[in-house]
Amino acid sequence: MIQPNDLIVFCGAGGFIGGHLVAEYRRRGYKNLRAVDIKPFSEWHQRFPDVDNLQLDLSNYESCLIALAGATWVYNHAADMGGMGYIETHKANCMLSVLINTHLLMAAKEHKVNRFFFASSACVYAAGKQTVTDVVALKEADAYPAMPEDGYGWEKLFSERMCRHFREDFKVDTRIVRYHNVYGPHGTWDGGREKAPAAICRKVFQAKHSNSHEIEIWGDGHQTRSFMYIDDCLTGTTAIMESDILEPINLGSSELVTINQLVDIAEDIAGVKLTRKYNLDAPKGVRGRNSDNTLILEKLNWEPSIRLRDGMEKTYQWIGDQILRGQKSLVY
């Protein structure tokens, strides 16, 4: 296990999950933390003065060697990604994230890193298993035969295999988590990379305060998803990192809702009822996706349990505060 003075490196620390993870380890009392991201410090979602903050391009091997020097544990959340509006229109950019994980694994091997975490995604799952709204929850085995989300999903699936083979061939001890739609405060909520919960919170808040009383919904609103609040994400991420689970594992809520129901929740929080306009030409992803949590329950006797209504309320309030303060969303 990690010791109090061991160096933990967080790659992609300027992003949503990465920033929260640094904050979590600070809360736990760890002092030897290094945060790394390509973005200028002014664009990091969260940054802490008592952490060794580095601005590096981790698609470059030499930068990875610098980032991981002296590391005991490494979390890799670095990737070029966003919500469906981004990944469906920037497939090459998403694929290029393969350079980040590959070079980080090479640096981890070189520096003899004790444990390496890779943040994968539910986008690795075969599209043929996600064609109906009343979807059967996805088990880890459902990633094969492979037909993941084009671009982003293929990169994640390839990088999962890279982690596996670095573990088998080079003894880099890897952990792989497939995240299902993480949301919460201190995330992207505008600009094109935001995911559905943040986008809907923003649209409902703006509709209420502009008196337009209209909201655009991507697709017909019947597509289904599950959404995991960031606190559950942190609990699961750290527990899996500390565990002996070697194969990829789901980390997501099993509370399945339609996009229309997600809008219902945001409207209820805001105390409004809006006219819905459906944009059938907008990016919308698979028809249905949910997390089968059998394996995580078996391994950890735990699964994400924060109600969507509770997480959305905190997210809505935080995004509303940003809008009222005249803040702009960090688009990365």
Q: In this structure, are residues 111 and 65 in contact, taking their beta carbons and an 8 Å threshold?
A: yes
75 is catalytic: no
- Separation between Cα atoms, residue 158 and residue 101, nearest integer Å: 10
Which residue among the candidates 30, 75, 86, 152 is catalytic per the annotation? 152
For residue 64, which of 28, 109, 21, 31 has the smallest C-alpha distance? 109
Q: How many CB atoms lie within 10 A of CB 142?
A: 18
Residue type, 308: L
Contacts (Cβ under 8 Å, ≥6 apart) of 153: 121, 123, 124, 125
- Separation between Cα atoms, residue 36 and residue 53, nearest integer Å: 6
For residue 36, which of 49, 52, 24, 21 has the smallest C-alpha distance? 52
- Separation between Cα atoms, residue 114 and residue 29, nearest integer Å: 20
Q: Which residues are catalytic?
A: 152
